[in-house]
Amino acid sequence: MRSRLLVPLAISDAAAALIAGRTCAVTARHRRGLSLGVPGSPEVIYLSAPGQGLLPLHVVISGASLGQLLAQGPGPDGGLSLRFIVTGVRRFTVRIRPVAPGLDAGPARDGVAVIHAWLCSRPGLNGLGESGAESLAAASRWRPLFGADGPRRAGALRALVGRGRGTTPAGDDFLVGALAHEWARSGAGGELAAGLAALAGELDGLTTPVSAGYLRAAARGEFSSHLARLARQLPQGRQDRLLAQAGRVAAQGATSGLDTLTGFIAAARFSQAGEWPLSGPDLPSSPPE
């Protein structure tokens, strides 16, 4: 296996702690990045150039270095390993901090209504195999995640974890979005995070390594920078900026971003004290860009 030494532009605190001088193996190649495995850990680190947002387990390198790695291809033994010098490299952790009571105010409700209307008007199915209208309806099968009794919430949670295909199954993406809103509403100690903590010992057997890592990060309040920015912008009343940011979240992956946005809006709707009308000015007929 060939090995290459790199100096990142930036690295997340969680990734730096996980690497801690270890050699990482390239486990998957993507259109704009690489997945890295660390010996002795089920976690997966994402390696990319700048401009894609930031993730909880993330190493950012120059575009030139990434291009060389993507062009290099696997060696004769089928592998490529990477070592990182992280001393003096910029560190980051993207957290969502509570912004309540702003989430219950009129500007936030109007913003949620606009995004909700778009999700419900989209043709086709999301990664859960449902239309947006089905996932967000008052009778949605996922409503027990929010405010239901413990057994019903636990049942809905278990039905979501690992549901769907791909590197990050749609059910997990939905949960990450819902957890983001929960953190924005109440910070640590939310019911959904507590329910996920109860599955901690089973998580690696219920979903993919990448997705399990994202769920663990979400449970401790760490999210992608696109999702964190959406949570911060929600109470500000600037619908143009909010829609643009929702579009950035939705654009991630095949359906991952869309499923994450659906989970965020589901939590926004169903976590309110009582049902509230989903109406707002200038509801869009096309997706936010």
Q: Is the pLDDT of residue 234 over 60?
A: yes
Confidence of residue 281 (pLDDT cuts 50, 70, 90): very low
Is 282's pLDDT higher than 60?
no
Residue 233 in this model has a pLDDT that exceeds 50: yes
pLDDT at residue 80, as a whole number: 86
Which pLDDT score is estimated for 273? 47
pLDDT, tens digit, 9 for 90 and up, residues 126-185: 999 999 999 999 889 999 998 777 788 889 899 999 999 888 999 999 999 999 999 998
Assess contact for 137 and 129: CB atoms under 8 A: no
CA dihedral 263→265→266→270, nearest 10 degrees, is 140
Average pLDDT of the chain?
Answer: 87
Q: Among 19-33, 141-155, 161-175, 251-265, which stretch is predicted with the lowest mean pLDDT?
A: 141-155
Tell me the domains of the chain and their CATH numbers: 2-92 (2.40.100), 102-270 (no CATH)
- CA–CA separation, 61 vs 85, rounded Å? 12
User: What pLDDT is stored for residue 153 in this prediction?
Assistant: 87
Q: What is the DSSP letter of 91?
A: E
Q: Count the alpha carbons within 13 Å of 261 in the hemisphere toward its beta carbon.
A: 34
Q: What confidence tier does 285 reach under pLDDT thresholds 50, 70, 90?
A: very low
Model pLDDT, residue 59? 98
Name the 3-class secondary structure at 87: coil
Mean pLDDT on 261-271: 92
User: In the predicted model, what is the mean pLDDT of residues 9-27?
Assistant: 94
Residue 279 has pLDDT above 50, yes or no: no
- Spell out the residues 6+ positions from residue 177 whose beta carbon is closer than 8 angstroms to its own: 227, 249, 259, 260, 261, 262, 263, 264, 265, 266, 267
pTM of the model: 0.88
Cβ-contact 27, 209 below 8 angstroms: no
Cis peptide leading into 101, omega within 30 of 0?
yes
Percent of the chain with pLDDT over 90: 57
Helix (H) or strand (E) holding 37, with range, is strand 33-37
pLDDT at 201: 87
Residue 275 has pLDDT above 60, yes or no: no
Q: What secondary structure letter does DSSP report for 214?
A: H
Edge-to-edge strand list for the sheet holding 80-84: 2-6, 80-84, 24-29, 33-37, 44-48, 58-60, 10-12, 90-92
Segment among 43-57, 110-124, 139-153, 174-188 with least mean pLDDT? 139-153
Q: Nearest to residue 207, comparing CAs of 177, 179, 173?
A: 173
Residue at token pair 């449970």: 219
CB 84 within 8 A of CB 24: yes
Mean pLDDT across 178-201:
90
